[in-house]
A and B are shown apart, each in its own frame.
Chain A
Amino acid sequence: MTTAPREIDETAEKRVAAHEPVTGIDLPPEASEHAPIHHDLVRAHTVTGLVGLLFAATFGLIVATKFSAPEFLGDTEVGSWGRMRFAHVQGILYAWLMNGFLAFAYYAVPTLSGRPVRSRTLGWVIFYVWNIGIVALGWTFVLLGYSQSVEWGEFPVVVDVVTVLAFLAVGVQFLHPYLRKPRGRLYVSSWYTTLALTFTPAAFVIGQFFPEYLTPGAMGAVISGLWIHDAVGLLVTPLTLAIAYYVIPATTGRPIFSHFMSMVGFWSLVFFYPLNGIHHYVYSPIPMGAQKVAIMASVFMGIGVVVVVTNLLASLRGNGYLAFWDVPLRFVWTGIVFYLLVSLQGAFQASMRVQEQIHFSDWVIAHSHLAMAGFASFIIIGGLLHAWPNVSGRTVNRRVANLAYWVATIGLVTMVVYLTIVGLQQADAWTSGAPWIESVVVSETGWLVRSLSGTALFAAFVLLIVSLYKTPVDGPGQPGRGVDREDAGASR
């Protein structure tokens, strides 16, 4: 079933050699006329997402600082640890990741489907509802003490209602062009987007409302476990992979390595990832059969990830050097490597004997940061930088973006390494039977390094915003750059 490697795309090679833009594979011109990209929506979600990331990262830095200086900002309710933690986690999901996904969807979906998204007006309604009705309102509520203490669902119930409606609107916006696509066959990025936008609204409703109103205690933990991994596995992961599967062929000018591996990876995610969640509550009163199914699904999930990563990296065959020059591609490439690492780590951590020792420790926090800051954020950043010149009429400042890449990579790797070490130290202190406070004392150095590495990540995010503001490119020799596709289409 694997597609035989094609002829090397000499055009792309020559363009790279001449430092010219590497255009992706070509779409029939008449299709792009019918499928305008709403550049303003891409820009709005990109910039809002990155600014939201600065806020969410600030909350995270405050949380981290309190591990070393517990009195820091501790005199008032608003600045207390728990509320900052809520704001950090929800901010990363709704203010950063989702804005990034929406930006890239507005960029990629019209091209991939050959159809426009449902409506530009709906786009702006979603933009404001998302960023005011969910992000700003949610942050305000949790900081004032109105929250819902469900992991990955800390915004209060009233915000959940807005979120459900917003997810449905997002579904209408982006599923519409896919369902209207001629012949109905979709590219792999579109599979992942379609999956995420269909699965998530219902999973969100179950995850937010069942533990709150219908299923108490142990039964609620069953549902919460499912939601924790549905949010990561059926929302964040597929939308991230959709970006990776787009940026690589668009940069190299060559198709994905294997159609068959794309399918295996996709359908293994579909069937194994939703079963993972209960591995958060191993050795709990939840029936042992359910715990074991969740652990086995986690291991199978790891195997599926190896297929996806192989397929993505093999797609660079002969063009791997592009990742050295092309900063967006390098962000994506690194995110894919993080994806492999974090998935193998997750499959390992899910097994029972390992959990017995290290569950509840900072090694799990290392895992979550490798997933969200490493895998998801790196690939989203790559996607946004890739799209930026085409939607803004400004090039990305390569020097600054390159610096951001290195600061972010070094910061994140340091964070993950230290949290792993600290997690193992904590596990050791717990099993040794020493007084509890020993596990806190041994963590002090690691927690300090975590704050410093988090500061590096924050600096990288600032650099990324700076890198977007290179001078406009509409000088001679580059006709058309900076022209809004929509306007160009209208005047044609």
Chain B
Amino acid sequence: MNHEHDGPDPAAPEVGAKAVDPGSDHDPRWVRFLERGETIMLLGGVGSLVFSFVALGVLPLISLRGEVTRSTPEEFTAMTAQEEQGFTVYKREGCAYCHTTFVRDTPSDVRRFGPPAEAWEYQDQYPQQWGTRRIGPDLSRESGARSDGWHYAHLYDPRSTVPQSIMPGYPWMFSEAVDGTIVPDEDAEALVAYLNYLGRDISESGPQTERGRNAMNGHAGTSHGGTDEHE
């Protein structure tokens, strides 16, 4: 069964709007109106963009801005220059594609990682790195969870600390000293500084919103940064 010539014949007249369109001149006026290019551009393209941007962009933004102003605790500190550099490395290497940095207010998230994310914690992160996939664990409660040495060993060769890990190593962020030891470069130091910054403020201040406190009360005594969960 040889049916090679699947497409229309170019020599013959081709698909045409007139015949392909089942609509006719007898259609009601509103149908003809909806099929005009100008209508689709204004109502469809511009209208739905403005509508969705206001409904699910501007309104949540206003609400969030108010919540950040209300709930930011005194303990909040902006990132230091080194932590900022670490954030840049974190973004550049796509860490957020395997590690989220927001704890959801669900029982299993709170039990495993600690207090749920609050909007004020992220107020100096451009662009946000919440993430949509967890191949590795959430990192937003990483502050104080483990030593700098552990982090350096883990970043240099993840399998040296977690044998079954599939995390990529970042050996190029380290160099070999004259005595043969491996020492972290500036980027690795900055990245570890950033990891230690994640969750530091909320661990000092505690949850600042009702949502956060409720989630914690539901699981009292089980949330301490999830230090033993990652290994």
Q: A175 CA to B40 CA in the complex, in Å?
A: 11
Q: A77 CA to B16 CA in the complex, in Å?
A: 52
* Residues 54-72 (chain B) with a chain A CB within 8 angstroms: 55-57, 59-61, 63-65, 67-68
Chain A residue nearest to B121 in the complex (CB): A217
Are B55 and A198 in touch, CB under 8 angstroms? no
How many Å from the CB of B224 to the closest CB on chain A? 15
Chain B residue nearest to A330 in the complex (CB): B6
Q: Is A14 in contact with chain B by the CB < 8 A criterion? A: no
* Residues 125-152 (chain B) with a chain A CB within 8 angstroms: 125-130, 132-137
Chain B residue nearest to A387 in the complex (CB): B7
Chain B residue nearest to A315 in the complex (CB): B22
Q: Is A40 in contact with chain B by the CB < 8 A criterion? A: no
Q: Is A119 in contact with chain B by the CB < 8 A criterion? A: no
Are B122 and A364 in touch, CB under 8 angstroms? no
How many Å from the CB of B165 to the closest CB on chain A? 7
6 tightest Cβ-Cβ pairs between the two chains A and B: A217-B122, A82-B94, A198-B45, A27-B16, A480-B11, A274-B52
Are B31 and A263 in touch, CB under 8 angstroms? yes
Which residues of the other chain, B, contact A250 by a CB distance below 8 angstroms? 8, 14-15, 20
Are B36 and A325 in touch, CB under 8 angstroms? no
Chain A residues within 8 Å of B, Cβ to Cβ: 3, 19-29, 31-32, 66-68, 70-71, 74-77, 80-83, 85-86, 108, 111-114, 145-151, 154, 175, 178-179, 181, 184-188, 190-191, 194-195, 197-199, 202-203, 206, 211-213, 215-224, 226, 228, 234, 246, 249-251, 255-256, 258-259, 263, 266-267, 270-271, 274-275, 277-278, 280-287, 289-290, 293-294, 325-329, 356, 360-361, 364-365, 385-390, 395-398, 430-431, 433, 435-437, 440-441, 470, 473, 479-481, 483, 485
Q: Is B97 in contact with chain A by the CB < 8 A criterion? A: yes
Pick the residue among A85, A194, A470, A481 that contacts B9 (CB under 8 A).
Answer: A481
Q: Is B153 in contact with chain A by the CB < 8 A criterion? A: no
Which residues of the other chain, A, contact B168 by a CB distance below 8 angstroms? 66, 70, 74, 80-82
Which residues of the other chain, A, contact B98 by a CB distance below 8 angstroms? 81
Q: A215 CA to B58 CA in the complex, in Å?
A: 11
Which residues of the other chain, B, contact A206 by a CB distance below 8 angstroms? 53, 57
Which residues of the other chain, A, contact B228 by a CB distance below 8 angstroms? 435
Chain B residue nearest to A153 in the complex (CB): B127
Q: Is B213 in contact with chain A by the CB < 8 A criterion? A: no
Q: Is B181 in contact with chain A by the CB < 8 A criterion? A: no
Chain A residue nearest to B136 in the complex (CB): A436
How many Å from the CB of B17 to the closest CB on chain A? 5
A interface majority secondary structure: helix
Q: A398 CA to B98 CA in the complex, in Å?
A: 41
Pick the residue among A20, A397, A437, A481 that contacts B231 (CB under 8 A).
Answer: A437
- With A24-B15, A217-B124, A221-B130 already in contact, the answer to whether A194 and B45 are too (CB < 8 A) is yes
Q: A327 CA to B117 CA in the complex, in Å?
A: 50
How many Å from the CB of B95 to the closest CB on chain A? 7
Q: How many pairs of residues, A versus B, come closer than 8 Å at their CB atoms?
A: 381
Q: Is B183 in contact with chain A by the CB < 8 A criterion? A: no
- With A277-B56, A360-B132, A390-B10 already in contact, the answer to whether A216 and B19 are too (CB < 8 A) is no
Q: Is B102 in contact with chain A by the CB < 8 A criterion? A: yes
- With A199-B49, A283-B104 already in contact, the answer to whether A186 and B134 are too (CB < 8 A) is no
Are B37 and A226 in touch, CB under 8 angstroms? no
The 6 listed contacts between A and B (C-beta, < 8 Å) are A27-B13, A70-B169, A83-B94, A187-B17, A256-B22, A386-B7
Q: A70 CA to B112 CA in the complex, in Å?
A: 26
Chain B residue nearest to A249 in the complex (CB): B20
Which residues of the other chain, A, contact B6 by a CB distance below 8 angstroms? 21-22, 251, 326-329, 385-386, 389, 395-396, 398
Which residues of the other chain, A, contact B162 by a CB distance below 8 angstroms? 437
Which residues of the other chain, A, contact B23 by a CB distance below 8 angstroms? 185, 259
Which residues of the other chain, A, contact B164 by a CB distance below 8 angstroms? 437, 440-441
Are A226 and B38 in touch, CB under 8 angstroms? no
Are A86 and B20 in touch, CB under 8 angstroms? no
Are B10 and A483 in touch, CB under 8 angstroms? yes
Are A281 and B9 in touch, CB under 8 angstroms? no
Which residues of the other chain, A, contact B172 by a CB distance below 8 angstroms? 75-77
Are B37 and A149 in touch, CB under 8 angstroms? no
Which residues of the other chain, A, contact B134 by a CB distance below 8 angstroms? 360-361, 430
Q: Is B158 in contact with chain A by the CB < 8 A criterion? A: yes
Which residues of the other chain, A, contact B49 by a CB distance below 8 angstroms? 199, 202-203, 274
Among B35, B102, B231, chain A packs the most CB atoms within 10 A around the CB of B35
Q: Is B46 in contact with chain A by the CB < 8 A criterion? A: yes
Which residues of the other chain, A, contact B169 by a CB distance below 8 angstroms? 70-71, 74
- With A151-B132, A436-B230 already in contact, the answer to whether A199 and B48 are too (CB < 8 A) is yes
Q: A485 CA to B14 CA in the complex, in Å?
A: 11
Are A222 and B3 in touch, CB under 8 angstroms? no
Pick the residue among A21, A112, A199, A436 that contacts B5 (CB under 8 A).
Answer: A21
Which residues of the other chain, A, contact B60 by a CB distance below 8 angstroms? 219, 222, 278, 286-287, 289-290
Q: A398 CA to B126 CA in the complex, in Å?
A: 50
Are B129 and A179 in touch, CB under 8 angstroms? no
Among B46, B117, B128, B158, chain A packs the most CB atoms within 10 A around the CB of B128
Are A325 and B3 in touch, CB under 8 angstroms? yes
Q: Is B41 in contact with chain A by the CB < 8 A criterion? A: yes
Q: Is B91 in contact with chain A by the CB < 8 A criterion? A: yes
How many Å from the CB of B108 to the closest CB on chain A? 5
Which residues of the other chain, A, contact B137 by a CB distance below 8 angstroms? 436
Are B52 and A226 in touch, CB under 8 angstroms? yes
Are A480 and B132 in touch, CB under 8 angstroms? no
How many Å from the CB of A403 to the closest CB on chain B? 15
Q: A441 CA to B231 CA in the complex, in Å?
A: 12
Pick the residue among A187, A396, A480, A481 that contacts B21 (CB under 8 A).
Answer: A187
Are B19 and A275 in touch, CB under 8 angstroms? no
Q: Is B171 in contact with chain A by the CB < 8 A criterion? A: yes
Are B45 and A195 in touch, CB under 8 angstroms? yes
How many Å from the CB of B213 to the closest CB on chain A? 14
Q: Is B109 in contact with chain A by the CB < 8 A criterion? A: yes
Are B37 and A179 in touch, CB under 8 angstroms? yes
Among B11, B37, B63, B102, chain A packs the most CB atoms within 10 A around the CB of B37
